[in-house]
Chain A
Amino acid sequence: MENENIESTNQSYWTSVLIGGLISALILSVLGLVSQYMTVSSEPVGSSFTLSQAIGTFACLLGAIGGFIATRHYAKEYDITFPIGKGALIGLFTGLVAMVISTLITLLWTSLIDPDINQAVYDWSIANLEAQNMTEDQMEMAKGFIPEPGISAVTVGIGLLMLGILNAISGLIGAKVFASEED
């Protein structure tokens, strides 16, 4: 294997980023949509935690391993080693790509297949809030933090930020596991 243990120089990592991002996005979208349907089919009893939220959380934790998948693919595909900084960069891009693809899938689903689901989730959130016995002021303030139905720029922005950061960290660790020169 003439390429064994060579340092990465100019091999493109975009294929790995797309693979990692696509896998994360599919997991995020599928389990996220399942979570939404479970939410609207449950009673808004004022609890801030439901089984469906647990599934949604599970999806996002899995979404954060995109950086790990991408760095593994990049290291194995070219049989190379690379520094953890490059792993973090690959992870960051993977998180951003995952969020963009996931948003597109959700957008397609809510535009073509079930246009009512976003409004149903919003109504459920308001009903759930009202069941919490808060004061009027607190209610108004809390409502301000519930995303409007549809794709919200704030939600997408937070998703890009958090998935970017988490996948950067998982990419950094992935580089250490799969592409380190030490072992």
Chain B
Amino acid sequence: MKLYVPLLITSILLLIIGLGPGLFNQSSLGGYSWQHQIFDILCHQDVNRSYTIHGEAMAICSRCLGIYGSFAAGILLMPLISRFFTVINHLILKLILVTIVLNLVDVFFNALGIWTNTLHSRFLLGALFGGALAFYLTNEFFKQIDKPEESYGE
């Protein structure tokens, strides 16, 4: 549980930096701002494949925005998720694998020209992966009590 707050702060910080210079009303300097420099080794930062804020490209592409955004949102919403949903780890783990495969298929099929993905489709697929990762960690920070049905009222 003591790891929850550092993980929450880190994930939100990564997201804020990833939103890029436009968030701070700065120029993206053709992709050489300090936010772009920080994410340089983690994201291809293609301007044409990134959302913009105030006309300036974000420091991460739309797929990465989906990953970081939904991961941060998932960590933030963990207390609520644990309260209203039952997280079954082995199913979520399978969901994570499915989202990885979906993203890889999307990347390769787009590269091969079989289909053309869009800003929104890449964002959505990234968001599925990041959200599933956060969902998978819920039980670690907010324990859920699984009482068998026959023990109700005990």
Are both chains from one complex?
yes
User: Would you call A97 an interface residue if the criterion is a C-beta within 8 Å of the partner chain's C-beta atoms?
Assistant: no
User: Would you call B120 an interface residue if the criterion is a C-beta within 8 Å of the partner chain's C-beta atoms?
Assistant: no
User: Would you call A60 an interface residue if the criterion is a C-beta within 8 Å of the partner chain's C-beta atoms?
Assistant: yes
| Contact digits for A134-159, partner B, Cβ 8 Å, 1 yes 0 no | 10001001110110000000000011
- Which residues on B sit within 8 Å (CB–CB) of A63? 41
- For A168, give the chain B residue with the smallest CB separation: B10
B32 touches A129 (CB 8 A): yes
Give the residues from 114 to 151 in chain B that come closer than 8 angstroms, CB to CB, to chain A.
Answer: 133, 136-137, 139-140
Interface size on B, residues (CB 8 A): 34
B41 touches A165 (CB 8 A): no
- Which residues on A sit within 8 Å (CB–CB) of B43? 57
Give the residues from 11 to 44 in chain B that come closer than 8 angstroms, CB to CB, to chain A.
Answer: 14, 27, 29-34, 36-44
- Which residues on B sit within 8 Å (CB–CB) of A84? 3, 137, 140
User: Would you call B98 an interface residue if the criterion is a C-beta within 8 Å of the partner chain's C-beta atoms?
Assistant: no
Report Cα–Cα, A119/B7, bound state, in Å: 39
- Which residues on B sit within 8 Å (CB–CB) of A129? 30, 32
Give the residues from 24 to 75 in chain B that come closer than 8 angstroms, CB to CB, to chain A.
Answer: 27, 29-34, 36-49
**Which of A4-12, A16-24, A47-55, A103-111 binds B?**
A47-55
- Which residues on B sit within 8 Å (CB–CB) of A163? 41
- For A84, give the chain B residue with the smallest CB separation: B140
B42 touches A173 (CB 8 A): no
- Which residues on B sit within 8 Å (CB–CB) of A132? 30
| Contact digits for A42-80, partner B, Cβ 8 Å, 1 yes 0 no | 000010110001101100110110000000000000000
- Which residues on B sit within 8 Å (CB–CB) of A49? 44-49
- Which residues on B sit within 8 Å (CB–CB) of A161? 38
A54 touches B44 (CB 8 A): yes
- Which residues on A sit within 8 Å (CB–CB) of B49? 49
- Which residues on A sit within 8 Å (CB–CB) of B44? 49, 53-54, 56-57
User: Would you call A114 an interface residue if the criterion is a C-beta within 8 Å of the partner chain's C-beta atoms?
Assistant: no
- For B48, give the chain A residue with the smallest CB separation: A49
Report Cα–Cα, A142/B32, bound state, in Å: 5
Residues of B near any A CB (own CB < 8 A):
2-3, 7, 10, 14, 27, 29-34, 36-49, 89-90, 93, 133, 136-137, 139-140
Residues of A near any B CB (own CB < 8 A):
46, 48-49, 53-54, 56-57, 60-61, 63-64, 84-85, 88, 129, 132, 134, 138, 141-143, 145-146, 158-159, 161-163, 165-166, 169, 172-173, 176-177, 180, 182-183
Question: Which 8 interchain pairs have the tightest Cβ spacing?
Answer: A49-B46, A48-B31, A142-B29, A142-B32, A145-B32, A57-B44, A132-B30, A60-B41
